[in-house]
Amino acid sequence: MRTRLGLILACVVAMSVATAAEPVRLIFDTDMGNDIDDALALAIIHALESRGEAKLLAVTVTKDNRYAAPYCDLVNHFYRRTSIPVGEVKNGRTPEDAPMIQVPAERQPAYPRKLTDFRQAPDAVELIRRTLEAQPDGSVVIVQVGFSTNLARLLASPGGAALAKRKVRLLSMMAGDFATPKPEYNVRIDREAAAKVILEWPGPVVLSGFEIGNALLYPAVSIERDFAWVDRHPVADAYRAYGKMPYDRPTWDLTSVLYAVRPDRGYFDISEPGRVEVQADGRTIHRPDPAGRHRYLKLSSDAQRARTLEALVQLASQPR
């Protein structure tokens, strides 16, 4: 009886500790509109915030398009978090229109938002600076799932590197390919910025390579079934607008979010420390080094892949 009572008390204490854990403070840096995984990743962040595991401080955009920031803002409004600021890159790499953000953004008044014009959004780098300055030292995790444009400009700005070193405890980055000798899209499109961030970022960096998201395909059936709890969902609408249904899409950006908030849940293995080098053609090479700041995610079994994909689907489609 005593043993059973002690076990119950231990479980209660463990649950209390888990509940009392401070949410992970996130800045989400995204090229929203270039691929549907960015929208699913933002949905996961909101699900984790609803669970008390994360706190979304700001969203910054590296796609220089009139619909990118407004779409992020309307997703935040959909999840009833209307005060989250959204910053816009200036002179970014990909200004092209994209149906996945344009279609939901033009569905007014179905999706209310504060940003009716992308020019209302503050400069992304200035927003990152203001957000970091307002947070305790060593408390912020930046999830970068697009180009490195904004973070490279932060490092190049006066005091930017020192600010990042003081405030950011982890950079969780969707970039690179550590399984094949090929340049990955996020690195290739803005190679100089990616090389600068990877080389000069003053704290720990964990990269989720192309091969990780490519091994975890988001099922189209989830879009049709799991998002049906509401008549209109801006992420499901974006998914349908991105490509001809049904299609299963890699979960590249989702993996960086999941690791950033739940690094110790066994969803991924992680490489030994090292230094990631960005080659002239955009290829990424990880060279082991005990003093290195760079590590990358790995998947080691079918069971691990199945469990990780299940978590991604459940979080992305979680009702608000």
- In Å, how far are 24, 299, 302 from 268, measured between CA atoms? 18, 6, 12
Q: At 144, give phi and psi (nearest 5°).
A: -105, 115
Tell me the pLDDT tens digit for each residue of 126-175: 999 999 999 999 999 999 999 999 999 999 999 999 999 999 999 999 99
Q: Which domains does the chain have, with CATH numbers?
A: 25-316 (3.90.245.10)
Using CA atoms in the order 16, 19, 20, 24, what is the torsion angle rounded to 10 degrees? 150
Q: Average of pLDDT values for 14-30?
A: 75
Query: What is the pLDDT at residue 10?
Result: 44
Of 113, 114, 69, 116, give the one whose Cα is nearest residue 90.
69
Q: Average of pLDDT values for 64-80?
A: 98
Q: Average of pLDDT values for 279-306?
A: 98
Q: Average of pLDDT values for 34-46?
A: 98
- Residue 16 above 60 pLDDT? no
- Residue 281 above 70 pLDDT? yes
Query: What is the pLDDT at residue 75?
Result: 98
pLDDT band at 13; cut points 50, 70, 90: very low
Q: What is the CA radius of gyration of the chain?
A: 19
Q: Average of pLDDT values for 89-102?
A: 97
- In Å, how far are 66, 119, 207, 209, 272 from 295, measured between CA atoms? 35, 37, 6, 10, 6
- Extract long-range pairs of 239-243: CB within 8 Å, 24+ residues apart: 239/36, 239/39, 239/40, 239/100, 241/99, 241/100, 241/102, 241/103, 241/104, 242/35, 242/36, 242/98, 242/99, 242/100, 243/36
Indicate the burial class of 300 (C-beta count within 10 angstroms; 0-12, 13-18, 19 or more): exposed
Tell me the pLDDT tens digit for each residue of 255-267: 999 999 999 999 9
Tell me the pLDDT tens digit for each residue of 228-245: 999 999 999 999 999 999
**CA end-to-end span of the chain, whole Å?**
41
Of 251, 243, 231, 238, give the one whose Cα is nearest residue 297.
251
pLDDT band at 14; cut points 50, 70, 90: very low
- Residue 301 above 80 pLDDT? yes
Q: What is the pTM of this model?
A: 0.93
Tell me the pLDDT tens digit for each residue of 188-205: 999 999 999 999 999 999
Query: What is the pLDDT at residue 21?
Result: 87
% of residues, the chain, pLDDT over 70: 94
- Residue 111 above 90 pLDDT? yes
Q: Is the four-CA dihedral 216, 222, 224, 230 of positive or negative sign?
A: negative
Query: What is the pLDDT at residue 20?
Result: 57
Report helix, strand or coil for 313: helix
Q: Average of pLDDT values for 107-127?
A: 95
